[in-house]
Amino acid sequence: MRILFASALVASSIAMAPLAFAASETVTGTVKAINASHHELTLANGDTFMLPKNFNAKDIKVGAKVKVSYQKAGKKLEAEMVTVED
């Protein structure tokens, strides 16, 4: 029974390892477009980020310089935080 438990513990640790190391990335750029109804923010460099459903985009305008913290989810870029810079 101990061997079975130890094997299961090792297997679950290996399976969960990528989740533990999922770190946010950050990019700074100029807003090219914002689509509040589709929850998307596009930067001038072409990167398009999915915004959280409850994200309030009223302070973000086209042309604003922003800093986006995000994680990759497959091919999608999911924004965690968007900060307007001066």
pLDDT in tens, 1-57: 344 444 443 444 455 555 555 689 999 999 999 998 899 999 999 999 999 988 888
pLDDT at 22: 64
HSE, side-chain direction, 13 A CA sphere, residue 42: 7
Distance from C-alpha of 63 to C-alpha of 83, rounded to nearest angstrom: 14
pTM: 0.72
Residue 64 has pLDDT above 90, yes or no: yes
pLDDT at 49: 97
Kindly report the CATH number that applies to the domain delimited by 24-84. Answer: 2.40.50.320
How much is the average pLDDT of 50-65? 90
Distance from C-alpha of 1 to C-alpha of 45, rounded to nearest angstrom: 56
pLDDT at 8: 41
